[in-house]
Structure 1
Amino acid sequence: MIEFADMATYVAAVETSSISQAALRLGIVKSVASRRIRNLEQAVGVTLLDRAGNRIRPTEVGAVYYAKCARILEAIESAQEFVSGHNNLLGGRLRVSASAALLGAVLAPLLAEFAHAHPSLTLDVDADDQRPDFQSGGYDVAFREGRQPDSGLLMRAFDAAPFVICASPGYLEAHGRPAHPRELETHQCLLYACDGSGSSWTLPVDGEMRTLRVRERLRSTSRVQLAYAAIAGLGLLLSPRYVVEEALADGRLLQVLDDFLPPADKMVVLYPESRRHSKKVQALIAFLGERLTT
C-alpha cells in the first residue's frame, strides 16, 4: 500500500531537486526521506528519481507520476481544510516566504500573533529577498515589497511603505549633502539588486518621474546589508523607511532629498492559483487585512 507520507516526500524531492531539501521542508531527517522514496519506488515497481549527479530529477515516468501525486496531495489538503473549517480550526503546515527586511520590521510580530491564534497550525517561514519560487520552495504564500513582475500568481497589496534617501553623518560630512537629484552623479550610491533598476534610481524631478544614473558603490540583494553599509558610511541609500527606521531615530543615518522621494511602495502578498481556496492562506490574508492599511 502506498503511504501518503511517502508520496509527499517524493513530491518535495522533485520540487527541491534534493532529498536533503525535501527532508528540511518536511521537518524530517534525510535518512527518513530517502527511505520513504525507496518505499514508494518499491510500491509502484519503477524507478522514479534519477540520482546521477549533484541534483536529483524525475525519470520520464517519474515526472508524470509527480504531477498526479501533486494533484492528489492538493486534494487531500483541501479535504483536511474543509473538515477543519467546520471546527474553525486551521491545522497542518503553512510555508511562508518573505524578504528579510520586511519580515524583521513588519511581519515577524504579526506572524507570531497569527500562529498564537491558531495553535494547530505550523508556520514554516523562509527569509529570502529573491523572487519566490513556489515550486522548488513549496511556498503557500510569499511577501515582497513593491511592484512585482507578471508571473501568473494571485496578488493582494497592503500597507504603503514610504521611501527615504539617507546616509551616515560621516559620509555627508566627507562628501557633502545633496540638494538636488542632479548631484547624485557625484555621490557613491548603494543599490538594491532585486528591483531590476540596474545602476539607476527613479525619482520625481520637476513634476515627472526621471530615471537617473548613479555611481554604484555597493550592490546587494539584502536591504538589511545595504542599511548596514549606509550606516558604515559607504554611500547614499534609497530604501523603504521601515528598513532604516531605528538608524534614523538614533541619528546613525540622516535623511536627504526629502522633496524628491518616489511614491510609497506596497507590501505585496503572492500566492499560486492552487492556493486560491486554501483556508490557511485566506485566513492569513484576512488577518493581515485587519491590521494593515490597504
Structure 2
Amino acid sequence: MDTIKCMSTFVAVASQRSFTSGAKQIGISTKLASKYVQQLEERLGAQLFNRTTRNVTLTDTGQAYFDRCVPLLDQFDELEGLVQERQSELAGSIRITAPTGFGGKQLVEALRPFQLQHPKVLIDLYLSDHQISIIEEGFDLAIRFGGLKDSTLIARKLMDMRVVVIASPDYLAEHGEPTHPQALSGHNCLLQMASADPEHWKFCIDGNVSSFKVHGSFQANSPRAVVNMALGGLGIGMCPMYVVEPHVKKGRLKILFEDKEASELGLYAIYPQRRHLIARIRALIDHFTEVFEQYY
C-alpha cells in the first residue's frame, strides 16, 4: 500500500465530497479511488466516510484525519520540491484555473516556453469564467484579474492590464465619434457585467478621475462577447486590452479616449498560504512575472 497515494486520494475525495469528482481531480478512476480509500480505512482500522447513494461525508474521525493530512501532504510536496531544486530539474503536476478568454490564448502562450524548459512538469489547466474556490477544488494556482478577497490566499501581481474604450469604424461612421466621455450618454454602450461597476466608466479628466454613466441595449459577463458585438457595429464597449488588441491592429476596432484612460485591471497569481511554496509552482509564478511584465 502506498500511504501517500492513499492519503492524497482521501483528501481529494473529501474535498470534492465525491469519489467520482475526487478521482477526476487527481487523474485516476473512481474504482481505484475507492480501492485506495478502502485500503487506508483498513490500515487505520477506522471509517473515514459516511457513504450514501447520493453523497459522501466525513465521519468525525475522517474530519480529524483530513485536518492533519492536508498540511502533511503539503510538507511532502515541499520536500520533493526541495530535492528537485537541488537537482535543477522540476517535476510533478500543477493544477491551474484561469478565465476562459485570457487562459485560452495569452496564458497558454506564456505556458508553452515553461513546459519546453521543464518537460517533466504536468500542467492541468481548467478554464472557467466563474471564480472557483481553489482550496476546495484542489487547485495549486489561480490566474485572475482583480484584487484578492480571501484572506486565506496569497496574491502576487503579474501585471496591470489597460482597460480601453473601443468601437468599430462602421459604428463611428454612422453615429459619429464622441470627443468627450460626456458624449457617451448619447451612444449605445455595450456593458461588460463582470466589471466592478459596469454602468459607470471612469476617465482621467484634467488630472482627476471622473465617472460617467453609460447605458445600452447589450450586456454580457464576457469581454469577448462585448468585443464581438462592437465588431458587428452595435455600439461602444470598454474591455481589457488583451481581448481588443488583435482587432485594433487589423483596423477592425478603434480605441477611443486613449489620453483619458483611467481604468486598469491587475492580473494576479493566487495560491494557498504555505510556509514554503513548492519549487515548481514558485518557478512557474516567476516565469509568469517575467513574461507578463513585457505585455501592454
Fold conserved between structures, TM > 0.5: yes
Number of aligned positions between the proteins: 294
Superposed CA deviations along residues 203-262 of structure 1, whole A, max 9, x for unmatched, are 223432223332154443333233223223343221121211111122322222323322
Contact 2:140 2:271 in 1 (8 A): yes
**Which segment drifts farther, 51-60 or 271-280?**
51-60
Contact 2:161 2:240 in 1 (8 A): yes
User: What is the aligned partner in structure 1 of residue 240 from structure 2?
Assistant: 240
User: What is the aligned partner in structure 2 of residue 125 from structure 1?
Assistant: 125
Contact 1:201 1:214 in 2 (8 A): yes
User: What is the aligned partner in structure 2 of residue 167 from structure 1?
Assistant: 167
Structure 1 pair 251–17 and aligned structure 2 pair: CA distance change class (3 A): farther
Q: Does 1:135 align with 2:146?
A: no
Query: Which ranges in structure 1 are unaligned for 5 or more consecutive residues?
Result: none
Contact 2:169 2:252 in 1 (8 A): yes
Query: What is the deviation of 1:170?
Result: 3.7
> Match for 2:124: what amino acid?
D
> Match for 1:169: what amino acid?
P
> Match for 1:33: what amino acid?
A
Contact 2:191 2:215 in 1 (8 A): no
Query: What is the deviation of 1:108?
Result: 1.3
Structure 1 pair 246–55 and aligned structure 2 pair: CA distance change class (3 A): farther
Contact 2:203 2:210 in 1 (8 A): yes
User: What is the aligned partner in structure 1 of residue 114 from structure 2?
Assistant: 114
Q: Secondary structure at the match of 2:293?
A: coil
> Match for 2:155: what amino acid?
M
**Where do 1:278-293 residues align within 5 Å?**
278-293=278-293
User: Whole-Å Cα distance in 1 between the matches of residues 64 and 195 of structure 2?
Assistant: 36
Contact 1:130 1:194 in 2 (8 A): no
Q: Does 1:15 align with 2:12?
A: no
Contact 1:192 1:219 in 2 (8 A): yes
> Match for 1:287: what amino acid?
H
Structure 1 pair 234–284 and aligned structure 2 pair: CA distance change class (3 A): same
Query: What is the deviation of 1:174?
Result: 4.4
Superposed CA deviations along residues 174-197 of structure 1, whole A, max 9, x for unmatched, are 443222222223333333333332
**Where do 1:90-109 residues align within 5 Å?**
90-109=90-109
User: What is the aligned partner in structure 2 of residue 71 from structure 1?
Assistant: 71
User: Whole-Å Cα distance in 1 between the matches of residues 185 and 176 of structure 2?
Assistant: 13
**Which segment drifts farther, 101-110 or 234-243?**
101-110
User: What is the aligned partner in structure 2 of residue 260 from structure 1?
Assistant: 260
User: What is the aligned partner in structure 2 of residue 5 from structure 1?
Assistant: 5
> Match for 1:172: what amino acid?
L
**Where do 1:197-212 residues align within 5 Å?**
197-212=197-212
User: Whole-Å Cα distance in 2 between the matches of residues 122 and 186 of structure 1?
Assistant: 51
Q: Secondary structure at the match of 1:43?
A: helix
TM-score of the superposed pair, with normalisation by structure 1: 0.87
Q: Secondary structure at the match of 1:178?
A: coil
Contact 1:98 1:126 in 2 (8 A): yes
Query: What is the deviation of 1:3?
Result: 2.7
User: Whole-Å Cα distance in 2 between the matches of residues 19 and 171 of structure 1?
Assistant: 53
Q: Does 1:153 align with 2:160?
A: no
Query: What is the deviation of 1:59?
Result: 3.1
Structure 1 pair 64–199 and aligned structure 2 pair: CA distance change class (3 A): farther
**Where do 1:266-277 residues align within 5 Å?**
266-274=266-274, 276-277=276-277
RMSD value, Cα: 2.6
**Which segment drifts farther, 207-216 or 121-130?**
207-216
Structure 1 pair 40–231 and aligned structure 2 pair: CA distance change class (3 A): farther
Structure 1 pair 18–174 and aligned structure 2 pair: CA distance change class (3 A): farther
Q: Secondary structure at the match of 1:149?
A: coil
Superposed CA deviations along residues 78-105 of structure 1, whole A, max 9, x for unmatched, are 1211222221111111111222233244
> Match for 2:59: what amino acid?
T
Query: Which ranges in structure 2 are unaligned for 5 or more consecutive residues?
Result: none
TM-score of the superposed pair, with normalisation by structure 2: 0.86
